[in-house]
Amino acid sequence: MKRIVLFFVVALVSISVSAQPKKTIIEVQVSPEHADWQYRCGQDAKFNVTVLKAGVPLENARIYYEISEDMQDPMKKEDLTLKNGTAKIKLGTMEKPGFLRLRVWATHEDIRYYGVATAGFDIDKIEPTAVMPDDFDDFWAKVLEENNKLEMLPMMELVPEKCTQKVNVYLASFQNRRKGCRMYGTLCVPADLKPGEKRPAILIVPGAGVRARNGYYSEAEKGFITLELGINHISTVLDNEIYEQLKPWYGREYPLCNIDDKDKYIYKGIYAGCARAVDYLAGLDFVDADRIGVMGGSQGGALSITTAVLNPKVKCLAVFYPALSDLTGYLNGRGGGWPHLFRNGKMATKERIETTAYYDVVNFARKVSVPVFYTYGFNDMTCCPTSTTAVYNVLPDVEKYLWIVPEIEHWTYPEQNAARSKWVMEHLSR
């Protein structure tokens, strides 16, 4: 299918988005000379740096900058005073495909301000470092077979305080991994659903962390069943105070749980549970089992890909900057995906490298067989572009919609969110 590539470079918009940075009095603007932020290997990249106050270049602005390859140690550091508030900085080039990043800090009245821009070099040629295990398919077939032996015991409980005139909201749950262990999600059902009617459904898989999953009302108001899944085996409709109390138990260390054993690694149950969530949706008498899509960002981006591969009922997927991608990049002199397991060489044991091969999203991406919406940015240092580009580049020849928004870090614009939902709903309406 035809690959659609869009490059979208815009200023920060005033509409608030979760995790999107807020404007400050001093603005550090950093941008490459190429409008698409892309170069060929051997081409020199030059960046414009401007320090603004009230929209006007700040005279004698003091900056410190670093140049580095994606997620690597700086190769150049320098302090500068910008007489007219502007400067042109030459990054150099790369001899192999990858990314060069310029990070700039400006100091004004003892407060530091930050700007960043990243140039991509021959990014369509970035290949993953992750190796596909010979028994990858057999491993996951066995995992799913074992999980499917466990009764699902599906449940849905109306949550009246979350319902609106247009959407009925339920706490959904099903048994997963072992007896008595349940996964939960927030299920939104259009209030105008007629008896016997079946609607398309969207599974929203979660980013990292423990928090409420408030449900996707907008899509439900347009006629779609939505299930926003949680992976922490706790209700998704509790008071926020409870999640705050639970955060120490679901901290940043959970991706390391049982990482020395591929048969016990924490993501085994998570991947299988997300695949089972599709079966849960398909089993609802008001869901059209032939029209189920999945979408997510970061950890959810990873889970959207793994779910689409592990459950053939998924008909399309939408991905934002997937985590758990090309994890071994750091072992090959370049950036690797969240949670950056091997950035510290001490973590890189034979057992851990072997385990991650079965869970690396790159190896799932090679097996995607449905249409894909894919978007990410070059400035992301959580799910770095080297890793997310490697995932995109191994996607098979399926229908693909690629939207690179170079300036974003680990956040999205409202336009991206709207485009994602529109794309998924259109594909499920066919």
Query: Catalytic site residue 380?
Result: yes
Rg value, the chain, Cα: 22
List beta partners, residue 76.
67
The token pair at 132 is 């596909």
Which is catalytic among the residues 298, 304, 325, 387?
Answer: 298
Residue pair 105/24 in contact by the 8 Å Cβ criterion: no
The Cα–Cα gap between 159 and 175 comes to 20
Q: What is the 3-state secondary structure (H, E, C) of the chain?
A: CCEEEEECCCCCCCCCCCCCCCCCCEEEEEEECCCCCEECCCCCEEEEEEEEECCEECCCEEEEEEEEECCCCCCEEEEEEECCCEEEEEEECCCCCEEEEEEEEEEECCEEEEEEEEEEECHHHCCCCCCCCCCHHHHHHHHHHHHHCCCCCCEEEECHHHCCCCEEEEEEEEECCCCCCEEEEEEEEECCCCCCCCEEEEEECCCCCCCCCCCCHHHHHCCCEEEEECCCCCCCCCCHHHHHHHHHHHCCCHHHCCCCCCCCCHHHHHHHHHHHHHHHHHHCCCEEEEEEEEEEECHHHHHHHHHHHHCCCEEEEEEECCCCCCHHHHHHCCCCCCCCCCCCHHHCCHHHHHHHHHHCHHHHHCCCCCCEEEEECCCCCCCCHHHHHHHHHHCCCCCEEEEECCCCCCCCCHHHHHHHHHHHHHHHCC
Residue 410 annotated in active site = yes
Which residue is catalytic, options 340, 410, 421, 427? 410
Q: Which bin fits 32, alpha (ψ -120 to 50), beta or left (φ > 0)?
A: beta
Closest CA to 119 of 105, 100, 92: 100
Catalytic residue among 326, 380, 387, 427: 380
Any idea which residues carry the catalytic annotation? 298, 380, 410
